[in-house]
Chain A
């Protein structure tokens, strides 16, 4: 009996020690896909909401700051807009609301679902040029990483990358001046 209790306690301790969650990394969420099909000469500022900081004892999250950085890098790399200033003035405001980031609490294979609501607003007229909710999902196989929280983080990053890529493709198709 004593051995069994010790074994259980040891398992709990191992879970505690091995499973510290780390936040999703902006460099892994930024898309490195090919240049935008259409490059706008306009500038855009980014406003992200709905994200959360990662607590070391919970599953990895995506923070507003990190998603903003990933968006900025993706736009700058692909050239969808001429520039991404940190504040107004700018020709457009891109609002991104992280409405859903869902992953299991435990498990071997991890499926992450991400839903971001985007709004692109022309600042001069305050007109909504484009709005769409984009849903992406990514499944991380069990052999991708040893720790569960690392598999969740990898899933978050991949789902975010796909989400940003899809958004940029749609914005590019608008052929903004």
Chain B
């Protein structure tokens, strides 16, 4: 019985702990170096205003960035950012996964995508996760 209990505890820790992973990829021939203006398209399921965190981070790096719910911005931009945030509960709610796609401002085609996956014990605040995926997608130094 004691052994079974120990095995169950190990299994439970395995589920709760996990490993943080980051993934990034870029489309063949994509040139992200010339981008200066961005539009962040709000993820319809996002009730926490994550799009504003993207705008804040991009502005902090010196880019021009706006956000909205429309598919396209009112003024032309170099790139459109779409994202999907996923949340989980462990004592408190936390962002477990954040995916972003950097799209061409004209065609809407994906030029880069990045993902940060952070289980409970390696959780980060949303602004940090936003910074993490943007850094990877835009190839910015850490």
Is B99 an interface residue, CB under 8 A from the partner?
yes
Task: Tell me the bound Cα distance from A118 to B77 in angstroms.
Answer: 22
Pick the residue among A13, A104, A132 that contacts B8 (CB under 8 A). Answer: A13
Task: Tell me the bound Cα distance from A132 to B88 in angstroms.
Answer: 35
Is B18 an interface residue, CB under 8 A from the partner?
yes
Is A49 an interface residue, CB under 8 A from the partner?
yes
Return the CB mask of B1-38 against A: 1 if under 8 Å, else 0.
00001011101101110100101010111000000000
B5 touches A9 (CB 8 A): yes
Is A10 an interface residue, CB under 8 A from the partner?
yes
Pick the residue among B7, B29, B99, B117 that contacts A102 (CB under 8 A). Answer: B99
Task: Tell me the bound Cα distance from A83 to B108 in angstroms.
Answer: 31
Among residues 102 to 146 in chain A, which have CB atoms less than 8 Å away from a CB atom of chain B? 102, 104-105, 115, 117, 119, 131-133
Pick the residue among A16, A117, A119 that contacts B15 (CB under 8 A). Answer: A16
Return the CB mask of B111-139 against A: 1 if under 8 Å, else 0.
00100010000000000000000000000
Is B84 an interface residue, CB under 8 A from the partner?
yes
Task: Tell me the bound Cα distance from A12 to B7 in angstroms.
Answer: 11
Task: Tell me the bound Cα distance from A17 to B99 in angstroms.
Answer: 27
B27 touches A58 (CB 8 A): no
What's the count of A-B pairs with C-beta under 8 Å?
71
Pick the residue among A9, A58, A115 that contacts B11 (CB under 8 A). Answer: A9
A97 touches B96 (CB 8 A): no
Is B106 an interface residue, CB under 8 A from the partner?
no
Is B47 an interface residue, CB under 8 A from the partner?
no
**Size of chain A's interface in residues, with CB distance under 8 A?**
30
Among residues 8 to 45 in chain A, which have CB atoms less than 8 Å away from a CB atom of chain B? 8-10, 12-13, 15-17
A8 touches B12 (CB 8 A): yes
B110 touches A104 (CB 8 A): no
Closest to A97 in B: B27
Known: A15-B15, A95-B28, A133-B107. A6 touches B101 (CB 8 A): no
A residues near B28, Cβ cutoff 8 Å: 47, 49, 95, 97, 119
Is B42 an interface residue, CB under 8 A from the partner?
no
B12 touches A13 (CB 8 A): yes
Closest 3 CB pairs of A and B: A99-B110, A9-B8, A12-B12
24 A/B residue pairs, CB under 8 Å, sorted by A: A6-B8, A9-B5, A9-B8, A12-B8, A15-B15, A49-B28, A95-B28, A97-B28, A99-B25, A99-B101, A100-B99, A100-B113, A102-B84, A102-B99, A104-B86, A105-B88, A105-B96, A115-B110, A117-B27, A117-B110, A119-B28, A131-B109, A133-B108, A133-B109
Known: A12-B8, A13-B8, A117-B109. 20 other contacts (CB 8 A): A6-B5, A9-B5, A12-B12, A12-B15, A12-B16, A13-B12, A15-B15, A17-B11, A50-B113, A97-B27, A99-B25, A99-B27, A102-B84, A102-B99, A105-B86, A105-B88, A105-B96, A105-B97, A115-B101, A117-B27
